[in-house]
Amino acid sequence: MMKQQRSDEARDDRLEAWLAGAPPAPPSPGFETRVMQAVRDHARHRERGGPAWLRRLLGFLLAPRTLQFNVGGLALAGVAAMAAGLAITAWRAEAPVPPLAMGDETLTVRFVLVQPEAREVRLAADFTGWQPDVPLRRDGQGHWVAEVRLRPGSYEYSFVVDGGRWVEDPRGTLFREDGFGRRNSVLTVTDHPSAGDKGNG
């Protein structure tokens, strides 16, 4: 019995020694440089958003929303409001786009990033206060897609991959230096179909 126990202990010791001698990962040239670049990017984008409480507040205020109007409901509400002498408006928030006023014209812009290995992709842009608030959904073929309704205008954006890597749009055609040695992608939304949208959408 004792002999068997000693034999087992010796085998455990040999296994532990064998595991302890496992070769470490080989060097990865440029790893530290890449990490520090990602860290700087992260810090830069965090600074752009200001203090955490301000970013949360701005995130809430600037969170893109869609307003959908039910015409029938609105008409009925108008009748009811007239009858009661009250103005009633109904609105409902749904998908992420900026708040609209009546008469604003918006277009649906599709953002696409091909990144099969990514676990998560989000969109950060000037219209989100540079918070990566818009998640892209994976379509099963390695494409990440999000649709956002935007008014005509020019917007800067970037994709945030796996929570820390800021990636410019490889399909984009316009870029703008961000003043920190990197570029943001630029999207121009126009309501003239012939002009076409410049950028990802």
Partner 1 sequence: MPGSRSLADDDCLAPSSGVTSPDTERLMDSDGAAAHAAQAREEQEWVARCRQGEIEAFSFLVVRYERMMRSVIRRMLARDEDVDDMAQASFVTAFERLAQYSGQSRFSTWLCQIAVNKCRDLYRSRRDAGGWRDGGDAPDPVDDALGPEQRYEARQKDAVLQAALGRLKPQDRELIVMKYIAGHDYETVARILGCSPQAAKVRSVRARTTLRAILSGMGVEP
Confirm or reject binding of residue 19 to partner 1 (CB under 8 A). Answer: yes
- Report which residue type is found at 49: G
What x-and-dash track marks residues 129-168 binding partner 1 by CB under 8 A? ---------------------------------xxxx---
1, 2, 3, 23: which one binds partner 1 (CB under 8 A) = 23
Nearer to partner 1 among residue 120 and residue 197 (C-beta): 120
76 binds partner 1 (CB under 8 A): no
Residue 165 main-chain phi, psi, to 5 deg: -100, 120
End-to-end CA distance of the chain: give it in Å, rounded. 74
Interface pick for partner 1 out of 1, 3, 4, 27 (rule CB under 8 A): 27
Q: What tokens were used for 167? A: 């990636």
The Cα diameter of the chain in Å comes to 98
Question: Which CB, 12 or 191, lies closer to partner 1?
Answer: 12
**Pairwise CA distance, residues 106 & 197, whole Å:** 13
Local structure of residue 56 (DSSP, 8 states): H
Question: Pattern of binders to partner 1 over 162-181, x per CB under 8 A?
Answer: xxxx----------------
User: By C-alpha distance, which of 180, 175, 173 is closest to 200?
Assistant: 173
Q: Which residues bind partner 1 (CB under 8 A)?
A: 11-28, 31-32, 34-36, 38-40, 42-43, 46, 117, 119, 162-165
